[in-house]
Amino acid sequence: MPQTHGRRSRVAVVTGGASGIGEATCRHLAERNHRIAVLDLDGDGASRVAEELRAHGGEALGLTADVTDRPALDAAFAEIRATFGPAEILVTSAGLVAFDPFENITPERWSRLIDVNLTGTFHCCQAAVPDMVAARWGRIVTISSSSAQRGSPTMAHYAAAKGGVIVLTKSLARAYAPHGITVNSIPPSGIETPMQHRSQAEGDLPANEVMAGTIPLGHLGTPDDIAAAAAFLTSDEAGFITGQVLGVNGGAVL
Ligand code: NAD
């Protein structure tokens, strides 16, 4: 890192960049010579990832922000512009999962899941889009969830929020296609990350072997599997792909 691939260096913002899929996406985009803004509620984690990218020769900035806090997000985007220039690539990986029987979902818990997963994605896209419109070029990849494609008996709040992310993605693809901006979503499934490990520790998800048995390819995915797809979707080569939902799930959803 960084291998330049002869590509143009752009400013890439990755939310949830301190862990799991977001962290791997930061690395993949840095390998493409982009300048990376690692944005996360976990400021220490964001700083750690940015430091690692810089140690490998990349340009990176760690930022603390809650995606539900619009003033904090606007301030973070202002800092990104001042440091690197306008945002050109956005990957929204910040997310919160929960497992509850439907009748136990309190209105407060419902609102929290919608706020972080759906409204947080709205805030980040709205903060980034003016830069992309001005540049007449932009790439947005939202990280949704296979639970939004299948429905989930114990994640109605999370799945509904992620379903909202998918249709937000398609709506933005239509709205901003005339501006040279593509907007696509990746709904992961069965990716080994700290989030998955926490869910397993709490008994909400079964052990790896059991999960692997439900996946046609017979094994779990890695954060790099999602990051590679996100890196492609944010590239110049993917310029004719917009409004699409690219499942990266070992065949779990066909
Ligand atoms: P993770 O918990 O490892 O990483 C998520 C990151 O988001 C963390 O660093 C966390 O601090 C950050 N975050 C959470 N709330 C935030 C907020 N309000 N503001 C800013 N940052 C916040 O999880 P992961 O598995 O890498 O998940 C990444 C995305 O992929 C999430 O949106 C998740 O819903 C989605 N997803 C993951 C899987 C999977 O199999 N791991 C499956 C489906 C969807």
CA dist list (Å): 188 to 5, 40, 120, 215, 216: 26, 19, 18, 12, 14
Choose, from 33, 158, 169, 226, the residue flagged as catalytic: 158
Please provide the CATH number assigned to the domain covering 11-238: 3.40.50.720
CA of 32 to the centre of ligand 1 (A): 23
Q: What percent of the chain has pLDDT over 70?
A: 98
Q: Tell me, what's the pLDDT at 169? A: 99
Strand order in 60-64's β-sheet?
60-64, 35-40, 11-15, 89-92, 138-143, 181-186
Pocket of ligand 1 (CB under 6 A): 15-16, 18-22, 40-42, 45, 66-68, 93-97, 116, 120, 143, 145, 188-191, 193-196
Q: Per residue in 95-105, pLDDT tens?
A: 999 999 999 99
158 carries an active-site annotation: yes
Report domain extents, the chain. 11-238
Whether 4 shows a pLDDT value over 50: the answer reads no
- The pTM (predicted TM-score) of the whole model is 0.97
